[in-house]
Amino acid sequence: MNVKYFMFLFCPLAVQGQTTDIVQTADIIEVKTDNTSMIFTAKTDAPVFFQYWGNRIDSTADFSLGRAVEQQLFPAYGGRYFLNPALRLTHEDGVLTTELVYIDMESNSLDENRTETIVHLKDKLYPVFVDVHFVAHKAEDVIVQYVTVVHHEKDSVRIANIASSYFPLHAEAYYLTHFYGSWAAEMQWKEERLTPGTKVVESKKGVRTAQSENPSFLLSLNRPAEEDFGDVYAGALAWSGNYKLSFEFDEPGVLHTLGGLNDFASEYYLDSSRVFRTPDMVLTYSAHGKGQVSRNFHDWSRKYALAHGDKLNPVLLNNWEGTYMNFDEKTLTDMIDNAADFGIELFVLDDGWFGNRFPRDDDDAGLGDWQVNKKKLPRGIGYLADYAVSKGLRFGLWIELEMVNPKSELAQKHPEWVVKSGERDVLTMRNQWLLDMTNPDVQDFVVQTFDEIVAMSPNISYIKWDANRHVENVGSEYLPAGRQTHFWYEYVQGLYAAYERIREKHPDMEIQLCSSGGGRVDFGALKYHDEFWASDNTSAVDRIFIQYGTNTIYPVQATASHVSSSPNHQTGINVPLKFRFDVAMSARLGMELQPKDITGSDYRFAKKAIREYKLIRPIVQLGDLYRLISPYGENGWASLMYVSKDQEQAVFFAYSLKYHNPTYFETKLKGLHPGKRYKITELNGRSNHSSFYGNDKTFSGEYLMNVGIRLRLYRPYSSAVLLISEE
């Protein structure tokens, strides 16, 4: 018997399940992708049971037979269910329990790739209706789950907690991979064996909720997750607000996984006939390790969770670390000239370009007053945008529309728009307050301000959208006194509503998702954006770790990675320019420095590296990621590669993180076609000596994947990039 499945053929009655004697054939409900199946069984006016999730099964008749301990599809608090419930309601008469039974189901083809299955449930005694939705993305082996609730009681029903998804697993052991960190150290990778009890990963920050912990996870059964082997389940909540992921290990050894909204201070009063919808939980399964999980997420996100997932993202220069807020018009036009000479495609003007009565010369003033600073830029943004285009570059701007400085005209004009808790002090963070996105007037302000900013020039084609604080002393002057707990949900819904309106008006605008770096790296916000800023930390050494974690879930194509100065502004570490480029070229390449400071041989190298990145960009941004050596290993190496979908080209990256002499780097490649022959060419070389003994030689895919390659990488922060092309 395969231990990954949770259909028990023998087991005594247990508190977390129900023993059923199936005396009639149950309805079989199937949710299928090309390679996976979810299977449930149901009988009218009885609970629906979650039977299976794993490799695709086409013959399902056996699921309606036998005696089994079974887990409900969407367990509510009530009956014999004593674990963390997926749903807990309170009725106006004080009843705290819910018992969901099956009404029927429906299946709808959304297009050639997507099928939606809806399981309709109802409470046995109250007019409460719960629909569990599954959208199967066949080619990507991804299932998106969400839940809707509606009732027809006279008074409101209080939602104490509600999950987007639930699934049970049964195995000998469970290994959870989750991601943690802080500002400048986002998406650190952590794997741990789960023990009896409950492990919770959550955020209660309201905004920037992904910065310390990310709403995503991997679960490996029976052994730690491997790249190419073993059963791995994964989920990522598409939500930019408070969330909770719960992994509860019960007495019989079943693992119950819940994911969705955080119930912290968020009781929701649902009025009669109104529909409450949870965020999406994006789920995938692989029988071939965590590498395939990542490729499933990346393929899915390119189609369904990026604004323009079929396009290549540009090489850009952001002025932030090159000038911070200390610039004038000539400083910027000189940077544009230098960027054009390097072959850069887009110039982005970061913070500090706005404010007059309260000029934005530091982060303590001007935020919210989105007029061009006349002293710094007397000819306005239009002049700079036109100048960039005349030099062959596109032009972009930084904004932070959800926040406001106390020293601003906006704060003085609309104090009622600020998030505050009654008469308590409004706390500042980064010298700013948070605007109340639950308020439709604030949403209108955000949308109108975006319109006005991009209307300053038809040559503005890129926006960097930032958000630099979280929620403290929560409260809304817009929400009624009795509905203040709605804030956490309604803030994000208000933000998404603004995003929707902006995208409808500006469908072609490229928008970067930034939130003090990686504070909003989630699929909920990402679908309105083209790319994200994974971290404010531009240190190439740290970025290897940050991007390793980030790209386990989120697409490489959208991961902005910049070459910055040495010593690095965040860490003070000195790193060779080649190493900085080789790391940044493994994602969406950009630069964040003063380009005139790159001179001599460094100038020639940087110009060549940008040119060579453009050659490999389609492979990196649209190809399949294969992780070869984890930076978390003990040997001080890191390596990864990307393979084009047709397996005609690949690009390989290797990094040395410490001194290695007399040991040497060696690894086997992945994802190539064994029957093809490939020429290997080293890129980004700084001397006539290649790090690879077979430079410009041809090898079979079979050889490269079974024998592998060796590289001369000994010193700390040495690196190599290899282009692999079919001959």
Known catalytic membership, residue 466: yes
Cα–Cα nearest to 592, from 638, 552, 657, 543: 543
What letter does residue 84 receive in the DSSP assignment?
Answer: -
Residue 400 CA to residue 432 CA, distance in Å, equals 11
SS (H, E, C) 541-563: HHHHHHHHHHHHHCCHHHEEEEE
Residue 625's beta-bridge partner residues? 642
Catalytic entry in 131, 536, 542, 624: 536
Residue 665's beta-bridge partner residues? 711
- For the record, the structure tokens of 155 come out as 């008074």
Catalytic entry in 123, 280, 466, 530: 466
Residue 34 CA to residue 286 CA, distance in Å, equals 12
Cα–Cα nearest to 491, from 87, 186, 182, 205: 205
Which residues make Cβ contacts (< 8 Å) with residue 427, sequence separation at least 6?
472, 473
Residue 519 CA to residue 141 CA, distance in Å, equals 27
Residue 100's beta-bridge partner residues? 123
Q: How many alpha carbons fall within 13 Å on the CB side of residue 507?
A: 1
Residue 119's beta-bridge partner residues? 105, 132
Per the listing, tokens 């991979």 go with 177
What letter does residue 483 receive in the DSSP assignment?
Answer: G
Alpha helices in 437-535 (DSSP H): 440-454, 487-505, 523-526
Alpha helices in 540-693 (DSSP H): 540-553, 577-584, 600-622
Cα–Cα nearest to 7, from 81, 74, 75, 67: 67
Q: 224 and 175 in contact (C-beta within 8 Å)?
A: yes
Q: Could you list the active site residues?
A: 466, 536
